Amino acid sequence: MNVNLPVLAPSILAADFSRLGEQIKSCTDEEIQWIHCDIMDGHFVPNISFGPGIVGTVRDIAPEAFLDVHLMIENPNNFIDDFADAGADLISVHYETCPHLHRTVENIKNNGCMAGVVINPATPVHLLEPILPEIDLTLIMSVNPGFGGQSFIRSSYQKIRKLYQLREESGLSFLIEVDGGVGTQNAGELVSNGVDVLVAGSKVFKTDDISKSIASLLKAARAGSNRVV
Ligand SMILES: O=C(CO)[C@@H](O)[C@H](O)COP(=O)(O)O
């Protein structure tokens, strides 16, 4: 996979679904290559979003996009095939939902997708160590998952730095993604702390001008490209 870092991945959770095609096109007409799809089941998180049907629709709308699918669901292992068939490029599962994480990661890869593992704000980074050699991406939730528009939890910086250090020490190459409360005020600092992929929902879609919002977010993220960690 060829990626220009840092990546901005708009989360369609915040999109206007009556204009989904138009809004996704506003993203891909800019420099957006990744689209983030938040799947919520009303069990693992207290909200329901959408399923493989909408992911398939996004695939049809944006055949060239890289579809980054974040499963906030219980028993994710049972749904990997459905999301892979719908067109996911990367499927991320929560550490907290996977008693057999290694098996679930294998299942994702056997379905031809890249594999990611996500941790909630209260889950420590060191728990990921055994699985890091097997995965393509780690996602640090910087809000409690379930809703868009929440405030960024500042202790996430420490977790990002720890993960970045682990990557440096191990020589591994997994990407570091952060999700929740990302905006122009923190995009640069997140990148300088080690983040490769920034997920943003409300700061892309709940604005007057998606193109302008993307340009501002990318500018802020790129200003952080000189790593200080
Ligand atoms: O997964 C989630 C929430 O569970 C996120 O993707 C949010 O949807 C990001 O939204 P903003 O904080 O950017 O509004």
CATH of the domain at 191: 3.20.20.70
Collect all residues with Cβ–Cβ distance below 8 Å to 144 and sequence separation of at least 6.
120, 121, 150, 153
Q: What are the backbone dihedrals phi and psi of residue 190, each rounded to the nearest 5 degrees, phi first?
A: -65, -45
Output the residue whose Cα is nearest ligand 1's atom 10: 148
Tally of structural domains, the chain: 1
Within a domain: residue 107? yes
User: Would you state the pLDDT for residue 227?
Assistant: 57
Question: Is residue 35 situated within a structural domain?
Answer: yes
**Percent residues over pLDDT 90 in the chain:** 96
Compute, in angstroms, the gap from residue 152 CA to the centroid of ligand 1.
10
User: For all residues of the chain together, what is the average pLDDT?
Assistant: 97
Say if the ipTM goes beyond 0.95: yes
Query: Ligand 1 pocket, 10 CB below 6 A?
Result: no
In this predicted structure, the answer to whether residue 150 has a pLDDT above a threshold of 50 is yes
Catalytic residues: 38, 179
Which tokens is 82 given?
A: 């459905």
pLDDT at residue 169 in the model: 97
Question: Domain for residue 229, yes or no?
Answer: no
Kindly state the average pLDDT of the residues 145-165. 98
- For residue 38, how far is its CA from the centre of ligand 1 (angstroms)? 8
